[in-house]
Amino acid sequence: MTEPLIFEYSRSGRRAVAQAPLADSEVAIPGRFRRSKAPMLPQVTELQVVRHYTRLSQLNYSIDTHFYPLGSCTMKYNPRACNSLAMLPEFLARHPLAPEEDGQGFLQCLYELQEMLKSITGLHEISLAPMAGAQGEFAGVAMIRAYHDARGDQQRDEILVPDAAHGTNPATATMCGCRAVEIPTLANGDVDFDALERALGPKTAGIMLTNPSTLGVFERRILEISKKVHQAGGLLYYDGANLNAILGKARPGDMGFDCIHLNLHKTFSTPHGGGGPGSGAVGVNERLSPYIPTPLVTRGDQGLRWVTQGDRPQSIGRLSAFMGNAGVLLRAYVYARMLGREGMPRVADFATLNANYLAKRLADAGFTLAFPERRASHEFIVTLKKETRQTGVTAMDFAKALLDHGFHAPTTYFPLLVPECLLIEPTETESKETLDAFVEAMVKIRETALQDADKVKAAPVTTPVRRLDDVRAAKQLDICWRPGTN
């Protein structure tokens, strides 16, 4: 079940596509600019290309082929209509610098998406420009800094981040020239309020929170937290990674957040694409509106048009050459329309139902929940500390063994503060039968671990390759193929 590299199919003189032939001499590129040696790209037929990449695709687990309960990633079904409608020929052919008059249909979709996201988040204005969650975070912290700078409050360069936060939060603080200050979490999963109070001060620029948090529980004291942070002169940033849990149920704007990003590739079901593209739309309240990243879409006298830095001189500006991940926004728009006002709260309902059901089933089967006294949001954490102590079989071993049962593994070892953890997010599009089968697989793996731990430690055995030597990958770095190296 391995596939050679595309380069290994290559034969000198073999070609896939007949482009219009043109002799070099007709083209006026002076010799000193010319390439001295042709790049070694594959020389293969179209069939070879199609077969090779089809075979590679078959080596992947994906939502379309497997249950994919990856915590904090919201791997729900990506409806096919969203893709095919975003790929209508006119949408694909439209140049980003084509006149606005020739893009009113496209702009209408973006405008309506902005409007829908405003009511979903309870915020004043939305920019669809950021290209991924991390860029949305960047936009958020950059806006917070711009706000303080505009008030002559330049010393505010500390961003508070819970220790359970996604790694992009502290990394974003650094990208924006701020210092990340970690806030501990209490045993019940809430942010340590006293520690937070102690950390607040004249240097506080703001706080980045995910709610429900990455621990899969709702931050119950959010209103007190936002009051405290605002009193200290800081602003609140909402990381929208877990918005699926509260869609149509509660709104970050009402919780006191000044800005947020949404992961449209999570909550609004645009594809993860083997790593991207994402889309990290940001929302702001009136306070941060002047700083919102451009471009956004507005309604003018002559129809819809782009809002640019000229209209918003205080904006943190553009973060991409054109309009972020425009085609992803069309997919999100189609999805949002297909859910509609009736469907959106049902997303949260069934995502939460599935998570709580799966958590309860696993707990009943003897697994330890990290926060058993709490309601699960749309995801929850199982800690395998007990199993590891008993058998030596770790969370990673469970994850690998799940692959052999036909399930993608949950998120492992994140959040970092829960030992031997699996962060499990079933999403609303999975059936009860699938969840039941997952519980059965977990029970079976534990049984095997008790009888023959080595067997679990040897998993996976049904995947195209077995466990890979990561140490060797980093030490004997091989990240670019050279002829004669296999």
Residues 275-294 contacting other proteins, CB under 8 A: 275-278
Applying CB under 8 A, does 254 fall inside the site for other proteins? yes
Element (H, E) at 327: helix 326-364
Q: Read off the tokens for 314.
A: 């205080």
Give the integer Cα–Cα distance in Å for 295 and 310. Answer: 10
Q: Which of 101, 286, 447, 452 binds other proteins (CB under 8 A)?
A: 101
| DSSP H helices in 128-246 | 133-150, 168-175, 193-199, 222-231
Q: Which of 154, 231, 390, 486 binds other proteins (CB under 8 A)?
A: 486
User: Minimum Å distance from CB 231 to other proteins?
Assistant: 19
User: Between residues 303 and 389, which has the closer beta carbon with respect to other proteins?
Assistant: 303
Q: Read off the tokens for 100.
A: 């606005």
Q: Which of residues 49-88 bind other proteins (CB under 8 A)?
A: 49-50, 52-66, 68, 70, 73, 75-79, 81, 83, 85, 87-88
Applying CB under 8 A, does 230 fall inside the site for other proteins? no
Phi-psi region of 179 (alpha: psi -120 to 50; beta: other; left: phi over 0): beta
Give the integer Cα–Cα distance in Å for 408 and 359. Answer: 17
Residue pair 202/156 in contact (Cβ under 8 Å)? The answer is yes
Q: Read off the tokens for 155.
A: 């010393």
Q: Which amino acid is at 313?
A: P
Q: Which of 69, 71, 103, 240 binds other proteins (CB under 8 A)?
A: 103
Beta bridge partners of 159: 180, 206
Give the three-class secondary structure for 426.
coil
Residues 372/374/380/383 CA torsion (nearest 10 deg): -30
Q: Which of residues 173-202 bind other proteins (CB under 8 A)?
A: 173-180
Determine the interface stretch with other proteins among 193-201, 385-393, 445-453, 462-470 (rule: CB under 8 A). Answer: 462-470
User: Between residues 287 and 405, which has the closer beta carbon with respect to other proteins?
Assistant: 405
User: Minimum Å distance from CB 295 to other proteins?
Assistant: 9
Q: Which of 154, 390, 431, 451 binds other proteins (CB under 8 A)?
A: 431
Determine the interface stretch with other proteins among 232-240, 381-389, 418-426, 430-438 (rule: CB under 8 A). Answer: 430-438
Applying CB under 8 A, does 168 fall inside the site for other proteins? yes
Applying CB under 8 A, does 34 fall inside the site for other proteins? yes
Give the integer Cα–Cα distance in Å for 71 and 378. Answer: 9
Applying CB under 8 A, does 313 fall inside the site for other proteins? no
User: Between residues 227 and 389, which has the closer beta carbon with respect to other proteins?
Assistant: 227
Q: Which of residues 320-359 bind other proteins (CB under 8 A)?
A: 320-328, 330, 334, 336-346, 348-350, 352-354, 356-357
Q: Give the count of beta carbons closer than 10 Å to the beta carbon of residue 168.
A: 20
